[in-house]
Amino acid sequence: MPQRSTVLSPTANLTGGRTLLRLATAGSVDDGKSTLVGRLLFDTNSVLADTLDHVEQVSKRRGLDRADLALLTDGLRAEREQGITIDVAYRYFATPARKFILADCPGHVQYTRNTVTGSSTADVIVLLVDARKGVVEQTRRHLAVASLLRVPHVVLVVNKIDLVNYSEDVFTAIATDFALLARSLGVLDTHCIPVSATEGDNVVTRSHRTPWYDGPTVLGYLENVDDTRQAVGADLRFPVQHVIRPQTAAAAPWAARAPQVNGDYRGYAGKIESGRVRPGDEIVVLPRGSHAVVEAIDTADGSLDLAVAGQSVIIRLNSDVDISRGDILAATDAPPAPIRELTATVCWLAERELIPGSRVLLQHGTSISKAIVKSIGGVLDLHFESGAVPCWRPTATLTLNDIGRVQLALASPLPIDSYREHRATGAFIIVDDADGWTLGAGLAGSTPLTAWTADNTRSDQHYPAQQGNPS
């Protein structure tokens, strides 16, 4: 058993201490993902004795000679009975430097739905391959999804390196394949690590059995990867959630601790989705287009002279513009134009099909609009039979786990960003008007994968059998 370190909170104040990183795991069946996750939890002391006892008992019952760390991620009863993982599970572990929220995405069942869900909030995707198999079709699919969802960093764990005798040549060949694939898919930043999750090599502690590898361990990588620049460096986007205009001020004893305000207080509550804001900044109110200047940024802890992406605040403006929930306060530099016709990449997450003419609801930021599906421009072929890049094929409908190009007409104009530049305000979900079900995840505008449409015109000749009008 490896050394287990104790994780103490470095400080107990609101603004100090460790940072937060969100990651998602993806891999195919039997590549050791559960074992890797189990080891990260175990080696950061995030698994406590009673849970471990349980895992040891079950391992013994199954005739194993040591605790199977994969059992740490066992979830619902149906999953235990069937030995499969159905749904995204969230795990938590921490080191003195960082807290990690891990979306553990099952590999085989509904991989698109789960990987898209996990990737939507991830700063990093941890992708696994078996060192004996290298980059396989599932790897390409997961990487394509990571690219589509604009996850800033992808780390490839070349697992079971012990089963190829810790061979540098095997690792280098896989890393080279992967780098080529990542470049062709437009993935932003990648890194590869040779790992044995069962033996613990390079997960938390550096392995002496891979002297030829001088990069970080998996945990070391996760502790140091830069996570915030993307959102904070972008232009301001602040969807208004709620207008705070107290009829009566909070009179409870608690409120005496908070700053005091006058009777005509009016502020806009929301979370900064991207960029930063300071008092004195000029903003534009979307979709209306009126301009105003930020008077103050308030919180219950006092006013701020700067607020950045991720913070929930109240923004007060210098003029009485008419603003309500659903509006977006944006930087005046290149704000998104409100549109009624939208082209987007849509990941279809429901059993029922998407067909042209469907009437749906589109939830974007804090607003909801009615929408009609005008046409479906193609479905992404992730089978990679033809080579390194996927292509778009004509289709009449989208079914569960399909990724398609969709044209939508909106009942009211929405200021939707391009997902490429703004992950939060370029994203939307498609909701069933009748029963409220979440049907699809939308990425507005062009994506790296849209570029492949151009390849599609060329690849038409490779797919004569699939061409033609599918109806």
Partner 1 sequence: MRTDQLRPLSELQALESESIHIIREVAATFRSPIMLFSGGKDSVVMLHLAAKAFWPAPIPFGVLHVDTGHNFPEVLQFRDEAVEFYGASLKIACVQDYIDDGRLRERPDGTRNPLQTLPLLDAISAGRHDAVFGGGRRDEERARAKERVFSMRDEFGQWEPRNQRPELWSLYNGRHLPGEHVRVFPLSNWTELDVWDYIAAEKINVPTIYYAHERQVAFRDGMWIAITEVTPARPGEVVELRSVRYRTVGDMSCTAAILSSATTAHDVITEVGLSQLTERGATRADDRLSEAAMEDRKREGYF
Nearest to partner 1 of 31, 74 (CB atom) = 74
CB of 404 to partner 1, least distance (A): 16
Residue 282 in 3-state DSSP?
Answer: strand
Nearest to partner 1 of 176, 324 (CB atom) = 324
Nearest to partner 1 of 17, 394 (CB atom) = 17
CB of 376 to partner 1, least distance (A): 20
Nearest to partner 1 of 171, 268 (CB atom) = 268
Task: Count CB atoms within 10 A of the CB of residue 408.
Answer: 25
CB of 381 to partner 1, least distance (A): 23
CB of 388 to partner 1, least distance (A): 28
Nearest to partner 1 of 55, 182 (CB atom) = 55
CB of 166 to partner 1, least distance (A): 33
Q: Where are the alpha helices (DSSP H) in 202-331?
A: 218-224, 229-233
First to last CA, the chain: 60
Residue 119, CA atoms < 13 Å, CB-side half-sphere: 31
Q: Tell me phi and psi for residue 462, to 5 degrees.
A: -80, -15
Contact 92, 23 (CB under 8 A): no
CB of 117 to partner 1, least distance (A): 5
The candidate with the shortest Cα–Cα distance to 446, out of 471, 468, 424, 418, is 418
Contact 261, 296 (CB under 8 A): no
Contact 302, 343 (CB under 8 A): no
Contact 124, 21 (CB under 8 A): yes
Task: Count CB atoms within 10 A of the CB of residue 221.
Answer: 18
Nearest to partner 1 of 7, 163 (CB atom) = 7
Residue 6, token pair as written in the block: 């104790």
The candidate with the shortest Cα–Cα distance to 120, out of 460, 384, 428, is 428
Nearest to partner 1 of 19, 386 (CB atom) = 19
Task: Count CB atoms within 10 A of the CB of residue 324.
Answer: 11
CB of 441 to partner 1, least distance (A): 5
CB of 259 to partner 1, least distance (A): 8
Tell me the C-alpha distance between 148 and 132, whole Å: 28
Would you give the DSSP letter of residue 15?
Answer: S
Nearest to partner 1 of 57, 457 (CB atom) = 57
Contact 317, 294 (CB under 8 A): yes
CB of 134 to partner 1, least distance (A): 30
Contact 419, 444 (CB under 8 A): yes
Nearest to partner 1 of 158, 286 (CB atom) = 286
Strand duo 190-194 + 98-104: pairing: unpaired
